[in-house]
Amino acid sequence: MMRRRTTLLTGCTALVLALGATACGGDTSTSGGDDKALSGQTVSVAGVWSGSEQENFQKVLDAFSEKTGAKTQFVSTGDNVSTFVGSKIEGGNAPDVVMVPQVGVVQQFAEEGWLKPLSTTAQQSVGANYSDAWKTYGSVDGTLYGLYFKAAHKSTVWYSPDALAQAGVEAPATYDEMLQAGRTVSDSGLAGFSVAGQDGWTLTDWFENIYLSQAGPEKYDALAAHELKWTDPTVVEALTTLGELFEDEQLVAGGQKGALNTDFPGSVEKVFGPEPEAGMVYEGDFVAGVAQDQFGKTIGEDANFFPFPAVDGGTAPVVSGGDAAVVLKDGKNADAGMALLEYLATPEAAAVWAGAGGFLSPNKQLDLAAYADDVTRATAESLVGAGDSVRFDMSDQAPAAFGGTKGAGEWKILQDFLRDPSDPKATAAELEDAAAKAYGN
């Protein structure tokens, strides 16, 4: 693997002047003056984002350019970040910065020796601006490589206020109350929930919220690391709980067959589209963006959310996902790339996208007033307020062969479980078999 690194045109001294660094070797800082000493350099950034997400991230990159003089170039990785980056490194054309959406991929890149550890300045910002949980998820073997810039709150249930009002239903406080609310909505003419079974990742999110609340954070962490087998009774119990939803024709729009033919955007459409079929849809805060951008809903009026409720007397879960910025050693402007990460670690950078919408930041120093609406402000407050109790999406922590591959592993097994949830023990055994192969233990 190529280890060449091109020396920056303006050198370390210019970086110090531009960004207030105290030392060379990547310890640059965006806290200094705006004298544009990165002018003439281009930072290449790769990520999965497209559409409005890419447009809004470009606003952040433009703010970085305005501050430092560096140009930026964004390139889409497609869904398979690992394959994209590996091919670029092999071809000698590695990007400087990659936005990585899975903890497992950050770990993979670090183990391959592809990543630069975060600079001292970036580490100090993470320590001051983030809860320890985010530092943990960005670290591999005690070394911090990933800076979580954009987060997702995956413990939100979105609903049509009109649908719940017509059914005489209020936001539930427990999981059982939520299912009962769904049945009441069904009695009024709509299914309780729209389920995006065509996209296996949504089913993993359902399972993770139930499991975290029901089994608790310690077992969640153990299962995520495959230190606990998927045949454990707690897994069977969570699958049994999930199966009660899947098998109830009152609760799922179109029943099991309909759910398996519904992708994520389609699940949002069934609640907020022109011809509603359900009153509620569970997924992350990003449901709001689809409801607003594609169906013209006013968030807080035509669409709202309640937190995923506690299961069987447990604590209400807060499951998150996120995109970690990492710097590749083989990037031609890796040092300038590190300067970008130092900027992304600031509340100033987070505020740019927060004002544009469709964004949550795990940066606890970001003023909640930066968010454009009260609903987003509430989801951000819930996410940041969870502190170290937040847990990262379990499937995103797993090897991609188990937790992140369409038609395989956990995605496929849970789709099969949606089709026939009658034997949770057999499903748990299938999950354990697939996990053991993927984790190699």
Same domain, 288 and 335: no
Predicted pLDDT of residue 29: 41
Predicted pLDDT of residue 79: 77
Position 154 in a domain: no
Position 6 in a domain: no
Same domain, 220 and 284: yes
Predicted pLDDT of residue 34: 54
Predicted pLDDT of residue 35: 64
Position 184 in a domain: yes
Around Cβ 379, how many Cβ atoms within 10 Å?
Answer: 22
Position 172 in a domain: yes
Q: How confident is the model over 380-413, as pLDDT tens digits?
A: 999 999 999 999 999 999 988 899 888 999 999 9
Same domain, 410 and 278: yes
Task: Return d(Cα 290, Cα 296) in angstroms, integer.
Answer: 9
Same domain, 186 and 303: yes
Same domain, 257 and 188: yes
Mean pLDDT of 185-199: 97
CB 356 within 8 A of CB 372: yes
Helices (H), 345-408: 347-356, 374-385, 394-397, 400-403
- Closest to 350 in 3D by CA, of 368, 332, 326: 368
Q: How confident is the model over 95-149, as pLDDT tens digits?
A: 999 999 989 899 999 999 999 999 999 999 999 999 999 999 999 999 999 999 9
Interior/surface letters 298-337, b for 16+ CB within 10 angstroms, e for the rest: ebbeebbbbbbbbbeebebbbbbbbbbbbbbbbbbbbbbb
Same domain, 140 and 289: no
Task: Return d(Cα 304, Cα 279) in angstroms, integer.
Answer: 11
Predicted pLDDT of residue 37: 76
Cross-strand bridge partners of residue 321: 152
Position 34 in a domain: yes
Position 394 in a domain: no
The gap between the terminal CA atoms of the chain, to the nearest Å, is: 28
Position 391 in a domain: no
Interior/surface letters 248-283, b for 16+ CB within 10 angstroms, e for the rest: beebbbbbbebbbebebebbbbbbbbeebbbbbbbb
Position 294 in a domain: yes
Predicted pLDDT of residue 129: 96
Report the predicted TM-score, pTM, of the whole model to 2 decimal places.
0.85
Mean confidence (pLDDT) of the chain: 91
Task: Provide the number of structural domains found in the chain.
Answer: 2
User: Going by C-beta distance under 8 Å and a sequence separation of 6 or more, which residues neighbour residue 401?
Assistant: 408, 409, 437, 438
Q: Any idea what the CATH number is for the domain that residue 236 is in?
A: 3.40.190.10
Q: How confident is the model over 208-257, as pLDDT tens digits?
A: 999 999 999 999 999 999 999 999 999 999 999 999 999 998 899 999 99
Predicted pLDDT of residue 38: 84
CB 309 within 8 A of CB 174: yes
Cross-strand bridge partners of residue 139: 144
**What domain range includes position 271?**
161-318+400-439
Q: How confident is the model over 64-90, as pLDDT tens digits?
A: 999 999 999 999 998 789 899 999 999
Same domain, 166 and 205: yes
User: For residue 324, what pLDDT band results from cuts at 50, 70 and 90?
Assistant: very high
**Per-state percent for the chain, helix, strand, coil, to nearest 5:** 50, 15, 35
> Is residue 186 scored above 60 in pLDDT?
yes
